[in-house]
Structure 1
């Protein structure tokens, strides 16, 4: 890894020797904000686990992790040795009178490069490559290296913003296809797989749980209710959309509200990914409405866009009441039917109607064509 931010820096600094690459970063703000009693417990644990065991100063490593932790650069007057102490560590030393303040470092959490870590005495040196590391320590032959396998690399790739937005784009495009081709199920299946992979990768990455999944499902239920059950109100649609967006954002991060600059940047990436996926779905929808209705397979289930702005005026839907037609897709309760010789978007009044069923237009409400099954004709 190229970075060990936040409390991950203490894992690296707990080693007897630490070697960094030239582009590596140690410490600084991380995905988890540390403060309050958690910070106090971390100070006690670090002092007991590392400071007392190795008899080395314990303040500087904590300054890389804890917000507001203050460390000073001190010089020993008798030897000229330089160390970095907090005020608490300095007062606990028996030779505290021999140390003189030289500089005050910026409050934590500090982020240091390889050169700065070497200057602070946190690392012995930096190396350009693993080969240089092996030569420095005299390693020969096959050296067992602990590194991520292909499954870990795939997981990191799927959970990264670079690919996560693509999964959202595929899921959104699948939902759009399913809504415009009811009864086929192909788009719904693609959307289901894409969203499952998205939440699964974020779950294994440690940022998603059941809360995000339940928020997402609840949002979809609200959107479906707005479209099929109580259209026109807008409350369920707006609330469902917000729930879906919140679930996708929370699934990609380990916090709810950002508490430091690192988390703010992570939130920006999450929102940018969702925005990019939304724009992509919009472009896909425009392309589908333009090209797919002319394809032989889907022209009977997709409604082609009107050829001119006067098409709706020449054939007003208000005059369709009483006409009959045949459903071309399943009405659940929305779908498509061939009415008066044209393919139209129609709605049933809360019932499921199978394809190929004869229907009659019973009402037109807010531009929506409402149909009911045509009763079978009695024999004369």
Structure 2
């Protein structure tokens, strides 16, 4: 993606359409998107503004005017918007294809949170949930919620919750998740509710 951006701006610079305003718009848009992704929860004003600034920087870098005043300028502006829009859609599609293909190559195994609970229970990819493996040791610790915790139970995150991770509650280690918030390892959490086999937690307010 960075190479594509460099090519677009490089060509615009060669034909003399790339100026400080376009570069500033692009950098500001990227910063807003990063803030939206990593700091601000959800996708709101900052994300939309960042996307529009990046889109505008691409469009303006393809022409020597900002706001069209004549019919021929409107024609050029709409053409550039169409080209940039198609390019972005194509880039998103290509990234999606790559992201779908990479896990099959095993490159993301290190990023996946693997269960560290009872080896006597098989993973869901190979056996039915809860099916015992022949000769396995009795269960002593489980990621399942065999006895649900009552809401209000206090625990500690033993991994980062982003938003899924592991927490320790009443000397039991379980997989838990938040309602979209990110918490660091060591954060004290409180059980909000039990959704089936999911333990939903939030940071404990001091």
Query: Normalising by structure 1, what TM-score?
Result: 0.33
2:162 alignment partner in structure 1: 346
Partners of 2:106 and 2:157 in 1: CA distance = 27
Classify 1:302/1:245 alpha carbon distance in 2 versus 1 (closer, same or farther; 3 Å).
Answer: farther
Cα root mean square deviation, aligned: 3.6
Among residues 171, 177, 180, which one is paired with 1:367 in the alignment? Answer: 180
Task: Tell me the residue number matched to 1:331.
Answer: none
Name the CA shift for 1:323/1:226 in 2 (closer, same or farther; >3 Å).
Answer: closer
Deviations 1:297-356 (A, max 9, x none): 3333379xx99xxx9xxx89xx9x64635xxxxxxxxxxx7xxxxxxx826xxxxxxxxx
Match 2:111 to one of 287, 290, 301: 301
Matched, 1:239 2:55: no
Work out the CA distance in 2 between the residues paired with 1:289 and 1:278. 16
**1:227 equivalent in alignment to 2:25:** no
**2:101 matched residue in structure 1:** 291
Structure 1 residues 202 and 361, CA gap change in structure 2 (3 angstroms): farther
Structure 1 unaligned regions, length at least 5: 1-170, 172-190, 326-336, 338-344, 348-358, 375-380
Q: Find the partner of 1:324 among 158, 161, 182.
A: 158
Kindly indicate whether residue 9 of structure 2 is the aligned counterpart of residue 199 of structure 1: yes
- For residue 19 of structure 2, the aligned residue among 197, 206, 209 is 209
CA distance in 2, matches of 1:217, 1:302: 31
Counterpart in 2 of 1:167?
none
Indicate the residue corresponding to 1:7 in structure 2: none
CA distance in structure 2 between the aligned counterparts of 1:299 and 1:272, rounded to whole angstroms = 38
How many angstroms does 1:361 deviate by? Answer: 4.5
TM (norm. structure 2) is: 0.57
Aligned with 2:83 (options 273, 294, 317): 273
Cα distance, 1:224 vs structure 2: 0.8
- Take 2:178 and 2:48, find their aligned partners in 1: how far apart are those partners? 22
Deviation at 1:198, TM superposition (A): 1.9
Q: Given the superposition, is the C-alpha separation of residues 282 and 257 from structure 1 closer, same or farther in structure 2, using an over 3 Å criterion?
A: same
Gap regions ≥5 residues in structure 2: 114-123, 130-143, 150-154, 169-175, 188-206
**Secondary structure of the corresponding residue to residue 203 of structure 1:** helix
Q: Which residue of 68, 72, 86 corresponds with 1:262? A: 72
Q: Which entry has the higher C-alpha Rg, 1 or 2?
A: 1
Contact 1:226 1:232 in 2 (8 A): yes
CA shift, 1:214, in A, is 0.5
How many angstroms apart in 2 are the aligned matches of 1:286 and 1:221?
22
Deviating beyond 6 angstroms after TM superposition, the runs of 4 or more aligned structure 1 residues are none
Return closer, same or farther for 1:284/1:222 CA change in 2, 3 Å cut-off: same
Closer/same/farther in 2, CA of residues 238 and 287 from structure 1, 3 Å limit: same
Contact 2:29-2:51 at 8 Å conserved across structures: yes
Distance in 1 (CA, whole Å) between partners of 2:61 and 2:112 is 34
Three-state SS of the structure 1 residue aligned to 2:42 is: coil
Structure 2: distance between partners of 1:214 and 1:228: 21
Task: Specify the SS of the correspondent of 2:16.
Answer: coil
In the TM superposition, what are the counterparts of 1:1-380 in structure 2 within 5 Å?
171=1, 191=2, 193-232=3-42, 234-301=44-111, 322=156, 324-325=158-159, 346=162, 361=167, 364-368=177-181, 370-372=183-185
